[in-house]
């Protein structure tokens, strides 16, 4: 779709509005509480929207999607701490590097179909985690710490936290726009065909190996950038936090909850899931319950409502499909 | 007439108001590992915190200048996971408006919490974290109460050297920030003492099957084992060493054997030694606060279990913090920090002095460690201080079994 | 020299239990094309089952294993009728997500109830000491029990009617239906059997090592590696695969830091997935 055509689509403006809201509402009143909450929500949205490219469009479940997030974080923090790179350059390097490695890797594991691919992604995540835990230049299992000086170029910790937040919101907006742009392109059509029936798609002339590798690589870029920003903010990265399979799982729940294959769905699912999670986070009895609730949600969706929230909305109000894609 | 009434009412309000003002609260925030692998020692530390808070509030609160502050805690469960710590400390500062912070338990978690406390400019007492690297990252408001990790195994190494100058050492430790920091220093210290290191390996903290690494210990011909990590892996390692009948003359494990629970391992616990930040038998003469014996007696009466060093550390950390406020006469962070920077005192915990060098601010300089060993006394397993000799309460048992 | 041999022998002993765990996974996978991602939770259930039976009844740990196996079978059949039978014939990715979510629920409930406290079943058996190395009695016994269970399974699958029915359904479900085999019942039987195997392996692991609610994940990952090595739906292959994995671990540990073995396992996993989709021990194909 041509850029001008985008400007006429309500979905496009919805994305822009949401992004601006995320950016300016906390900024308006210097509301640090809200900013911290929305920051986590933004990260879930980024992970879900990019994961949707694999699950929703191409129909490949990436259980280990968090590996991009963690590796992006590692590259960025390492470049900043050992080589003194500025944040934005390091984050971009992380995103580009991880995306490239994903392309190479993808050419290998994307030969696998369906469940085998899904299992291999778990293997990739755990393997990378075990490797990084033994990789001394990256701090091994103790990880890398950033000194407080790292925040000086951004104007000191207080201001740096705002800058990082706004950058993350930008990445979130880009994730949603990317998702939308792909869906409405020829590339996206090919992906959806692969998702429906890969053999038929191949017979009809869709270059399946190339498309699969490209989408795997594309789904890595923005989560890697988000990881870079997030771990820079945390001033600390270690293998268990960077490659947390639980986080990876939550992204899957978010995508399925909101509606895989739609543009708005994953973002909605991520936002709702994050609200639920943060309510449970500090509750004494229920802090472990988040896994139970996430699991029940996922089970119910998979068995009864595979289209998720957006799927239900589209069926109930077919005309909404034009506005909320 | 009206003027007098107004004055009287104003005076009355002032009196009532100041009576209320006398009961201000000071909110201290922290996370506890209620669940997860660190929970045993973290909860012991929490008991120390709580006993301190109850003692302070029973005495009417902390005196800061002409105001008194009662202590109120706000805490969350970090589940022994670094990932939660930052979110929870941010919440403590931003939503719960904690004025001061205590650290989580264990070096790794302290490091992540420090990022947040420094980002928001809050003073944090580091209690339960021994790793020294955290203090090299340029902090202004962090103060370490534990002896740094570098010193943990120096006592054991000296002891082993004195018994057998050609001992063969196996260094087997958990792959976590604290144990690694201890191992790095121990390696150097062993070399300097002329001991031979025949095995040097780390294991994942969640490891439950030590048979492979124990086989390597046997293959290496080691007669001394130094290492471990925290409670779960330390206890399991001790048990499996016993099951596999490894022929050692000495074994010192970190953290785990300090817990009273360790004795439940029975014969597997006998002879094992642990570097301790504190033991109930120490004879320090405090400048203020209870003596070690008084503290141990009251703690045992309150919690039905003898205090290990984690509980003593929790209590002492609170006490040192209180002393700084009392000396400063105020609860302003800069003034309290200035007092902590000046501090050079002895309490039930031992000596305390914080580094003021910006390259290592907050690092603990004065506190000393002891080595305690589980020994059989009248058919019961008890912990005795065996090193340094000046502080010993019983002769060391070497070979340990 | 002896150290390497000791390491290999111990690896084989423990590896047989990995094989037992994988046998359950591969049976379910092969018979009904469902990848049970709640396999780890079932292993943990076996661990807890043994713990409570042996502490409650005070029975010697090994006597508690048969009840755990039977209970596991019952749970498996129940699970089949509640959730799994809806997934037969559906896109495999859906069953993957469904069993995955069941796993999340079970582990989540487990951590809520038991936290992540370490549980230990005290078992003391005399071991065999040789050249300074001790093979603990529990490891030896675990391998023996695994062999016994594997033997029983073989007898069941090849010498009894229900067993042959399972193999028929695994081979070609439609043909089996046409031959009058009640496929639904057979599938539920197979699923129950798979879960029983998982629980039994958990029980045996509990006799050897301490465990937490989260221990199942590591063994589930090993089960996948083993299943892939041994070939889908091939229980004999799974057992051999487990022994092979244990052998590999035993071979590697004397030469490299223990923490590297995990990396090697995953590399093996991904390579075998890509290069040997049929598994290394797939005797059926040849």
Q: Subunits that touch chain C (at least 3 Cβ pairs < 8 angstroms)?
A: A, B
Q: Is the peptide bond before B399 cis (omega within 30 degrees of 0)?
A: yes
Closest in C100, C259, C266 to A127, CB measured: C266
Contacts of B77 in chain A (CB under 8 A): 284, 287
Contacts of A133 in chain B (CB under 8 A): 175, 204
Indicate yes or no: CB of A133 within 8 angstroms of CB of B204.
Answer: yes
CB contact C51 to A (< 8 Å): no
Instruction: Give pLDDT tens digits for A243-283.
Output: 988 889 899 999 999 998 899 999 999 999 998 888 777 66
Contacts of A118 in chain C (CB under 8 A): 93, 96
Q: String of b and e for A192-212 (b: at least 16 CB within 10 Å)? A: bbbbeebeebeeeebebeebb
Instruction: Give pLDDT tens digits for A84-105.
Output: 999 999 999 999 999 999 998 8
- pLDDT score of C284: 47
Q: Is residue B323 within 8 Å of residue B345, measured between CB atoms?
A: yes
Indicate yes or no: CB of C83 within 8 angstroms of CB of A118.
Answer: no
Q: What is the distance between the alpha carbons of residues C172 and C188, in angstroms, rounded to a whole number?
A: 16
Number of domains in chain A: 1
Indicate yes or no: CB of B90 within 8 angstroms of CB of A36.
Answer: yes
Q: Is residue A288 part of a domain?
A: no
Domain that holds residue A52: 3-250
In angstroms, the separation between the Cα of residue A33 and the nearest Cα of chain B is 6
Indicate yes or no: CB of B213 within 8 angstroms of CB of C253.
Answer: yes
**Nearest-by-CA chain C residue for A125:** C266
- pLDDT score of B17: 47
In angstroms, the separation between the Cα of residue B196 and the nearest Cα of chain A is 24
In angstroms, the separation between the Cα of residue B261 and the nearest Cα of chain C is 13
The A residues from 234 to 293 touching C (CB cutoff 8 Å) are 245, 249, 252, 256, 285-286, 288-293
- pLDDT score of A22: 93
Q: Is residue A192 part of a domain?
A: yes
| Predicted confidence (pLDDT) at residue B328 exceeds the cutoff of 90 | yes
- pLDDT score of C13: 92
Q: What is the distance between the alpha carbons of residues B131 and B229, in angstroms, rounded to a whole number?
A: 13
Indicate yes or no: CB of A133 within 8 angstroms of CB of B175.
Answer: yes
pLDDT tens track, chain C, 286 positions = 788 888 899 999 999 999 999 999 999 988 888 888 899 999 999 999 999 988 887 778 888 899 999 999 999 999 888 878 877 777 777 888 888 888 989 988 988 888 778 888 888 888 888 888 888 888 999 999 999 999 999 999 889 998 999 988 888 888 888 888 888 899 999 999 999 999 999 999 999 999 989 888 889 988 988 988 888 778 888 999 999 999 988 888 888 888 788 888 888 888 888 887 666 665 544 3
Q: What is the distance between the alpha carbons of residues B305 and B257, in angstroms, rounded to a whole number?
A: 15
CB contact B219 to C (< 8 Å): yes
Indicate yes or no: CB of A284 within 8 angstroms of CB of B77.
Answer: yes
Of A2-6, A50-54, A185-189, the least confident: A2-6
- pLDDT score of A1: 62
Indicate yes or no: CB of A140 within 8 angstroms of CB of B175.
Answer: yes
Closest in C111, C132, C254 to B247, CB measured: C132
**Nearest-by-CA chain B residue for A33:** B94
Contacts of A284 in chain B (CB under 8 A): 77
Q: What is the distance between the alpha carbons of residues B155 and B368, in angstroms, rounded to a whole number?
A: 10
φ/ψ of residue C140, rounded to 5: -65, -45
Specify the CATH number for the domain of residue A190: 1.10.3470
Closest in B81, B86, B175 to A234, CB measured: B86
Q: Is residue C198 within 8 Å of residue C242, measured between CB atoms?
A: no
Indicate yes or no: CB of B202 within 8 angstroms of CB of C259.
Answer: yes
Indicate yes or no: CB of A148 within 8 angstroms of CB of B137.
Answer: yes
Q: Which of A145, A285, A286, A288 to mutate to test the interface with B (most CBs of B within 10 A)?
A: A145
Q: What is the distance between the alpha carbons of residues C29 and C96, in angstroms, rounded to a whole number?
A: 11
pTM of the predicted model over 0.90? no
CB contact C111 to A (< 8 Å): yes
- pLDDT score of B51: 96
When pLDDT is cut at 50, 70 and 90, the band that residue A324 belongs to is: confident
Q: What is the distance between the alpha carbons of residues C213 and B257, in angstroms, rounded to a whole number?
A: 24
| Predicted confidence (pLDDT) at residue B34 exceeds the cutoff of 70 | yes
**Between chain B and chain C, how many beta carbons pairs sit less than 8 Å apart?**
87
Indicate yes or no: CB of C224 within 8 angstroms of CB of A249.
Answer: no
Q: What is the distance between the alpha carbons of residues B264 and B267, in angstroms, rounded to a whole number?
A: 9
Contacts of C258 in chain B (CB under 8 A): 201-203, 207, 212-213, 216
Q: Is residue A256 part of a domain?
A: no
Closest in A119, A134, A293 to C224, CB measured: A119
Q: Is residue A281 part of a domain?
A: no
Of A51-65, B300-314, C220-234, the least confident: C220-234
- pLDDT score of C112: 81
**Nearest-by-CA chain B residue for A146:** B137
Q: Is residue B64 within 8 Å of residue B22, measured between CB atoms?
A: no
Q: Is residue A152 part of a domain?
A: yes
- pLDDT score of B19: 47
Of A115-119, B7-11, B131-135, B190-194, the least confident: B7-11
**Nearest-by-CA chain A residue for C265:** A127
Indicate yes or no: CB of B176 within 8 angstroms of CB of A133.
Answer: no
Indicate yes or no: CB of A147 within 8 angstroms of CB of B138.
Answer: yes
Q: Is B127 helix (H, G, I), strand (E, B) or coil?
A: coil
Contacts of C106 in chain A (CB under 8 A): 295
ipTM: 0.82
Phi-psi region of C180 (alpha: psi -120 to 50; beta: other; left: phi over 0): left
**Helices C261-275 & C215-230, crossing angle to 10 degrees?**
40
Retrieve residue C133's tokens.
């190395």
Of B62-76, B366-380, C258-272, the least confident: C258-272
Q: Is residue A231 part of a domain?
A: yes
In angstroms, the separation between the Cα of residue C109 and the nearest Cα of chain A is 6
Q: Which of B77, B98, B121 to mutate to test the interface with A (most CBs of A within 10 A)?
A: B77
Q: What is the distance between the alpha carbons of residues A20 and A18, in angstroms, rounded to a whole number?
A: 5
Q: Strand B273-276's sheet: what is its strand order?
A: B196-203, B168-174, B224-228, B250-254, B273-276, B370-377, B380-387
Contacts of B204 in chain A (CB under 8 A): 133, 141
Tell me which DSSP letter residue B169 carries: E
When pLDDT is cut at 50, 70 and 90, the band that residue B260 belongs to is: confident
Q: Give the C-alpha distances (Å, rounded to integers) separating A261 from A220, A307, B51, C126.
A: 17, 8, 56, 59
CB contact C258 to A (< 8 Å): no
Q: Output the average pLDDT for chain A.
A: 89
Contacts of B113 in chain A (CB under 8 A): none
Q: What is the distance between the alpha carbons of residues B190 and B194, in angstroms, rounded to a whole number?
A: 6
Of A16-30, B27-41, B301-315, C271-285, the least confident: C271-285
What is the arithmetic mean of pLDDT over A113-136? 87
Q: Is residue A315 part of a domain?
A: no
Contacts of C47 (CB under 8 A, 6+ apart): C119, C202, C203, C205, C206, C211, C215, C216
Q: Is residue A280 part of a domain?
A: no
| Predicted confidence (pLDDT) at residue B23 exceeds the cutoff of 70 | no
- pLDDT score of B9: 60
- pLDDT score of B137: 86
Q: Which of C1, C111, C209, C260 to mutate to test the interface with B (most CBs of B within 10 A)?
A: C209
Closest in C93, C108, C221 to A288, CB measured: C108
- pLDDT score of A9: 83
Q: Which of C91, C252, C263 to mutate to test the interface with A (most CBs of A within 10 A)?
A: C263
**Nearest-by-CA chain B residue for C260:** B203
Contacts of C257 in chain A (CB under 8 A): 134
């Amino acid at each position: 779709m041509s850029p001008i055509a985008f400007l006429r689509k309500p979905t496009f403006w919805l994305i822009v509005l949401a992004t601006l809201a995320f950016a300016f509402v906390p900024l308006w009143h210097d509301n640090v509480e809200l900013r911290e909450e929305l920051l986590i929500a933004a990260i879930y949205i980024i992970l879900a929207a990019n994961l949707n490219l694999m699950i929703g469009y191409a129909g490949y479940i990436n259980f280990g999607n968090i590996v991009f997030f963690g590796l992006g974080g590692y590259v960025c923090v390492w470049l900043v701490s050992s080589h003194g790179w500025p944040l934005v350059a390091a984050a971009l390097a992380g995103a580009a590097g991880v995306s490239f490695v994903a392309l190479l890797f993808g050419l290998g594991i994307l030969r696998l179909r369906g469940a085998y691919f899904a299992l291999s992604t778990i293997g990739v995540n755990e393997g990378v985690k075990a490797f990084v835990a033994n990789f001394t230049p990256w701090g091994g299992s103790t990880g890398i710490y950033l000194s407080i000086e790292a925040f000086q170029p951004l104007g000191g910790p207080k201001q740096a936290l705002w800058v990082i937040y706004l950058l993350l919101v930008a990445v979130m907006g880009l994730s949603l726009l990317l998702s939308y742009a792909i869906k409405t392109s020829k590339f996206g059509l090919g992906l959806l065909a692969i998702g429906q029936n890969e053999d038929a798609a191949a017979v009809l002339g869709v270059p399946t190996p190339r498309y699969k590798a490209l989408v795997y690589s594309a789904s890595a870029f923005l989560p890697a950038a988000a990881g870079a920003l997030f771990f820079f903010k945390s001033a600390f990265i270690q293998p268990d936090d960077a490659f947390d399979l639980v986080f990876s799982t939550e992204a899957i729940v978010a995508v399925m909850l909101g509606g895989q294959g739609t543009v708005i769905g994953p973002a909605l699912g991520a936002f709702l899931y994050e609200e639920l999670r943060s309510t449970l986070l500090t509750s004494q009895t229920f802090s472990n319950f988040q896994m139970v609730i996430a699991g029940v949600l996922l089970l119910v969706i998979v068995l009864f409502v595979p289209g998720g929230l957006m799927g239900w909305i589209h069926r109930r109000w077919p005309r909404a499909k034009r506005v909320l894609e | 007439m009206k003027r007098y009434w107004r004055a009287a009412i104003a005076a009355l309000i002032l009196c009532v108001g100041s009576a209320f003002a006398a009961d201000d609260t000071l909110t201290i925030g922290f996370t506890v590992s209620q669940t997860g692998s660190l929970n045993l020692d973290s909860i012991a530390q929490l008991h120390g915190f709580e006993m301190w808070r109850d003692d302070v509030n029973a005495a009417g609160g902390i005196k800061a200048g002409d105001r008194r502050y009662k202590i109120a805690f706000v805490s969350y469960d970090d589940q022994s996971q670094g990932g939660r710590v930052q979110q929870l400390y941010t919440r403590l500062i931003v939503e719960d408006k904690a004025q001061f912070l205590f650290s989580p338990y264990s070096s790794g978690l302290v490091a992540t919490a420090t990022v947040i406390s420094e980002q928001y400019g809050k003073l944090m007492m580091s209690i339960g974290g021994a790793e020294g690297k955290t203090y090299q990252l340029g902090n202004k408001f962090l103060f370490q109460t534990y002896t740094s990790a570098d010193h943990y195994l120096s006592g054991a190494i000296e002891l082993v050297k004195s018994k057998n100058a050609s001992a063969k050492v196996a260094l087997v430790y958990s792959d976590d920030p604290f144990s690694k920091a201890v191992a790095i220093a121990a390696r150097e210290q062993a070399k300097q003492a002329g001991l031979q290191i025949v095995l040097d390996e780390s294991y994942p903290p969640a490891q439950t099957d030590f048979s492979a690494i124990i086989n390597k210990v046997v293959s290496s011909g080691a007669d001394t084992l130094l290492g471990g990590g925290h409670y779960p892996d330390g206890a399991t390692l001790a048990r499996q060493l016993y099951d596999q009948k490894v022929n050692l003359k000495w074994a010192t494990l970190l953290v785990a054997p300090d817990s009273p629970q360790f004795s439940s391992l029975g014969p597997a616990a006998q002879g094992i030694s642990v570097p301790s930040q504190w033991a109930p038998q120490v004879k320090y003469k405090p400048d203020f606060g209870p003596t070690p014996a008084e503290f141990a007696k009251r703690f045992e009466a309150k919690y039905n279990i003898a205090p290990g060093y984690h509980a003593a550390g929790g209590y002492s950390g609170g006490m040192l913090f209180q002393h700084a406020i009392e000396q400063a006469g105020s609860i302003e962070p800069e003034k309290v920090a200035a007092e902590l920077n000046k501090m050079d005192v002895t309490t039930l915990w031992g000596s305390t002095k914080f580094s003021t060098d910006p390259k290592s601010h907050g690092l603990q300089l004065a506190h000393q460690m002891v080595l305690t060993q589980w020994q059989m006394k009248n058919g019961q397993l008890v912990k005795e201080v065996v090193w340094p000799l000046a502080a010993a309460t019983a002769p060391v048992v070497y070979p340990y079994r | 020299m002896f150290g390497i041999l000791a390491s290999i022998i111990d690896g084989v002993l423990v590896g047989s239990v990995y094989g037992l765990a994988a046998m359950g996974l591969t049976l379910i996978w092969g018979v009904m094309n469902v990848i049970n991602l709640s396999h780890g939770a079932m292993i943990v259930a076996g661990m807890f089952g043994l713990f409570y039976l042996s502490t409650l009844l005070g029975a010697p740990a090994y006597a508690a294993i048969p009840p755990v196996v039977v209970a596991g079978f019952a749970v498996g059949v129940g699970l089949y009728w509640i959730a799994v039978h809806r997934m037969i014939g559906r896109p495999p990715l859906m069953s993957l997500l469904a069993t995955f979510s069941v796993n999340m629920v079970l582990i989540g409930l487990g951590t809520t109830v038991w936290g992540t406290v370490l549980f230990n079943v005290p078992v003391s058996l005399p071991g065999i000491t040789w050249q300074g190395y001790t093979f603990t009695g529990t490891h030896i016994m675990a391998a023996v029990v695994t062999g016994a269970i594997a033997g029983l399974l073989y007898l069941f699958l090849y010498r009894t009617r229900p067993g042959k029915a399972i193999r028929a359904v695994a081979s070609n479900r439609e043909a089996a239906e046409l031959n009058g085999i009640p496929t639904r019942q057979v599938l539920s039987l197979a699923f129950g059997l798979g879960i029983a195997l998982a629980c039994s392996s958990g029980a045996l692991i509990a006799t050897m090592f301490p465990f937490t609610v989260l221990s199942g994940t590591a063994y589930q990952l090993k089960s996948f590696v083993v299943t892939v090595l041994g070939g889908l739906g091939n229980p004999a292959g799974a057992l051999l695969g487990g022994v092979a994995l244990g052998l590999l671990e035993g071979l590697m540990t004397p030469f490299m830091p223990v923490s590297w073995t995990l990396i090697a396992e995953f590399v093996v996993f991904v390579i075998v997935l890509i290069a040997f989709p049929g598994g290394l021990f797939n005797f059926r194909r040849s």
